[in-house]
Amino acid sequence: MTTVVVVRKGDEVAIAADSQSTFGDTKMSARDDGAWDKIFGACGGYFSISGSAAHDLVLQAALGKVKKLDFSSRAAIFDSFRRLHPKLKEDFFLKTEEDEDDPYESSQMTVLLANSSGIYGVYSLREVYEYKRFWAIGSGSDFAIGAMQAVYDNPAFSAEDIARIGVEVGCAFDVSSSLPMTCYSMQLESTREE
């Protein structure tokens, strides 16, 4: 699986991810993977996905097919993913079935997003969360969240430092995550009240 984190601290946001790909009991490290960076830039921010490796290229392509997407707020992100969903089905053959009792069709992906307006998570039914401090997804997420909680209030650590710590700890304890990592940071457009 993976360890992906987002962090917001002061006027900085950061996103970081491990590099391992896993196929059942087989793992592929960055040494053997020609495209191991799990984070991609699009629409003025950085995206990373947990789940099927196919989602990475699919989401990148879908973001290019839908015009005027907006990722500047929780509501705007919801609307953008609502507009992306038909494209995922029609152009990329997304299978939307998950649980029989789900109230909506699934987009089958979990996404973390960092941009100049903040840090966000988008889940399979297009639920959108805006995080005030940090969050993580993937099989190493519990370890990463614990590590980031332990260091977040230390004034010596920036958002990027905390993101790196989260992924390092995720990789240290999760068998489906490994280093090296990638990490990107950017400034918030304006610091909103915490």
Q: Where are the strands (E) in 76-133, listed by range?
A: 110-115, 118-122, 128-131
Residue 192 belongs to a domain: no
Residue 193 belongs to a domain: no
Whole-number pLDDT of residue 177: 96
Q: pTM for the complete prediction?
A: 0.93
Residue 91 belongs to a domain: yes
Whole-number pLDDT of residue 73: 97
* Domain of residue 8, CATH code: 3.60.20.10
Q: Are 7 and 163 in contact (CB under 8 A)?
A: yes
Three-class secondary structure of residue 101 per DSSP: coil
Residue 194 belongs to a domain: no
Residue 84 belongs to a domain: yes
Backbone dihedral angles phi then psi of residue 172, each to the nearest 5 degrees? -70, -30
Whole-number pLDDT of residue 55: 92
Residue 99 belongs to a domain: yes
Residue 154 belongs to a domain: yes
Whole-number pLDDT of residue 101: 84
Instruction: Look up the domain containing 145 and give its range.
Output: 4-187
Residue 139 belongs to a domain: yes
Quick: pLDDT tens for 154-172: 999 999 999 999 999 999 9
Whole-number pLDDT of residue 191: 54
Q: Are 186 and 115 in contact (CB under 8 A)?
A: yes
Whole-number pLDDT of residue 174: 97
The parts of the chain modelled with pLDDT lower than 70 are: 191-194
The number of distinct structural domains making up the chain is 1
Quick: pLDDT tens for 63-83: 998 999 999 999 999 999 999
Residues 6+ apart with CB under 8 A from 124: 98, 106, 107, 108, 109, 110
CA distance 80 to 68: 9
Q: Where are the strands (E) in 10-107, listed by range?
A: 12-17, 21-23, 26-28, 39-42, 45-50
Whole-number pLDDT of residue 165: 98
Whole-number pLDDT of residue 53: 85
